[in-house]
């Protein structure tokens, strides 16, 4: 699993360098998440997320956090299909476009 969830090489935002980057709504290729077996949830997500995924508590450093369980094994996501689409209704997403 990539550090910081899906981010392979995070950088600080710069208003000049990144001025043309926008949030792209939608997006249907979730293959970047195929090796992620859980994602951290915010409390406001529980009602919708619980309709699709088991919610469990996991240790993250010194804290215990709620996560949506996506797979039972390390690097397993049972919700990403072979074609990269997500196989559930509730999707926590935001993708970036240039």
Task: Kindly report, residue by residue over 24-55, the tens digit of the pLDDT.
Answer: 776 788 998 999 999 999 989 999 999 999 99
Average pLDDT, the chain: 85
Note the pLDDT of residue 71: 95
SS3 48: helix
What is this structure's pTM? 0.71
Number of folded domains that form the chain: 1
- Tell me, yes or no, whether 57 lies in a domain: yes
Query: Is the pLDDT assigned to residue 96 strictly greater than 50?
Result: no
Average pLDDT over residues 82-95: 80
Structure tokens belonging to residue 55: 């919610």
- Tell me, yes or no, whether 39 lies in a domain: yes
Residue numbers of the domain that contains 31: 22-97
Which residues have CB under 8 Å from 73's CB, separation 6+?
A: 37
Which residues have CB under 8 Å from 5's CB, separation 6+?
A: 36, 39, 40
Among 11-15, 35-39, 83-87, 91-95, which stretch is predicted with the lowest mean pLDDT? 91-95
Average pLDDT over residues 85-89: 92
- Tell me, yes or no, whether 37 lies in a domain: yes
Query: Is the pLDDT assigned to residue 97 strictly greater than 80?
Result: no
- Tell me, yes or no, whether 11 lies in a domain: no
H-helix segments, the chain: 46-49
- Tell me, yes or no, whether 2 lies in a domain: no
- Tell me, yes or no, whether 5 lies in a domain: no
- Tell me, yes or no, whether 10 lies in a domain: no
Q: pLDDT > 90: what percent of the chain?
A: 61
Strands (DSSP E) found in 1-98: 22-24, 38-40, 55-60, 63-69, 95-97
């Amino acid at each position: 699993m990539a550090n910081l969830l899906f981010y392979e090489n995070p950088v600080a935002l710069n208003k000049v360098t990144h001025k043309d980057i926008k949030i792209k709504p939608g997006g249907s290729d979730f293959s970047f998440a195929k090796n992620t077996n859980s994602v951290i949830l915010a409390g406001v997500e529980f009602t919708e997320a619980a309709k699709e995924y088991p919610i469990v508590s996991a240790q993250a450093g010194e804290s215990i956090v709620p996560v949506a369980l996506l797979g039972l094994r390390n690097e397993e996501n049972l919700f990403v299909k072979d074609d990269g689409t997500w196989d559930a209704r509730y999707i926590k997403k935001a993708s970036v476009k240039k």
